[in-house]
Amino acid sequence: MNGLKGLSPELQKKIKDLAENPQLPVWHEETRGVPNLCLRSALFGVIQRGRRKAVKGELVAAVKGLDIRYTGWRLDQGDFDVLAHALHLASRQQEQSSSCHVQFSAKGFLRGIGRKSGKSGRDWLKDSLRRLTASAVEIKAEIRHGCWAESYTYAGSLIDEFYYNVRERTYFLKINPKLASLFDAGWTMLQWPQRILLKTDLAKWLHGFYASHAVPYPVKVATLKHLCGSECNRLSDFRGKLRTALEELSKCGVLESWEIDRQDKVHVQKKKNIRGNDKNQGA
């Protein structure tokens, strides 16, 4: 910080605050910005109902160039929705306030992620926030700068803390500010109205995976099974679920077409109007 001596005290403070609490990117209201590492791994996997388990230092399946280890209760696509919407609220608030905590009602939040706001929904939301707060994620990623790459390591929880007002059913939540740095390794804007229409976790995972690629490349069925964290014992069972999920994406207007070729590779063509953040997306 020695290079700041010639600046005014106010500007020095602002620069120091930004260094300690990096800002999230800003995206359109109908989208949700998410680091690509959440979309190209099994960090938020496809977990069968009743099969969630706690893990310690488990290596998470991910694309080449990502090394993720996780401790805590395994996270699924419902937890992903909670984190993505919390990031959205935090991104919106930073434009209006310097407060680290985001305030929201349980009812409004649940509606924002396409869930019912009754007692079961409120209980589920609190459980999800507990999982995200109690999580410990260690991520090693490469950030490319033109023709050279820089190794980056992140370790910490996904949500720092939250407070719940029982009478008013409102939350005060703090996202881990270091999460903003993960966007530097690439991020995607998800089309949120589409996502909340999807019913199956596999369709949601595929929605994020393909959104994170400007032009999706053919991927083997076995590779997709590995990357999404599917617990299907047989590849043939997963292939059947995959066909159903791809058809769901087509019906919701995400995909123009899809096919599984004779080499068991999945080819998809996205709708031309379905675009992520082209500047930050990988190939």
pLDDT at residue 184 in the model? 84
Question: Where would I find the beta strands (DSSP E) of 11-101?
Answer: 31-35, 44-45, 54-60, 66-73, 75-76
pLDDT at 149: 66
Q: What SS3 state is found at 137?
A: strand
Choose among 45, 114, 49: nearest CA to 76: 45
Rounded to a whole number of angstroms, the distance between the first and last alpha carbons of the chain is: 36
Residues above pLDDT 90, as percent of the chain: 69
pLDDT tens digits for range 217-265: 999 999 999 999 999 999 999 999 999 999 999 999 999 999 999 999 9
pLDDT tens-place string over residues 123-134: 999 999 999 999
pLDDT at 7 over 80: no
Average pLDDT over residues 45-51: 88
Q: List the helix and strand counts (H, then E) for the chain.
A: 9, 14
- Output the average pLDDT for the chain: 87
pLDDT of residue 143: 64
pTM beyond 0.85: the answer is yes
Which tokens go with 8? 């005014």
Res 146 pLDDT > 80:
no
Does residue 82 surpass a pLDDT of 80?
yes
Backbone φ, ψ for residue 36 (5° rounding): -60, -30
Q: What is the pLDDT of residue 94?
A: 81
What would the DSSP string read from start to end of 245-256? HHHHHHHTTSEE
State the average pLDDT over residues 101-115: 95
Pairing mode of beta strands 66-73, 31-35: unpaired
Condensed to tens digits (0 to 9), the pLDDT of residues 154-174 reads 788 999 999 999 999 999 999
**Distance between CA atoms of residues 4 and 278, nearest Å:** 34
Cβ–Cβ under 8 Å, residues 41 and 68: yes
- Judge whether 208 and 84 are in contact, CB under 8 Å: no
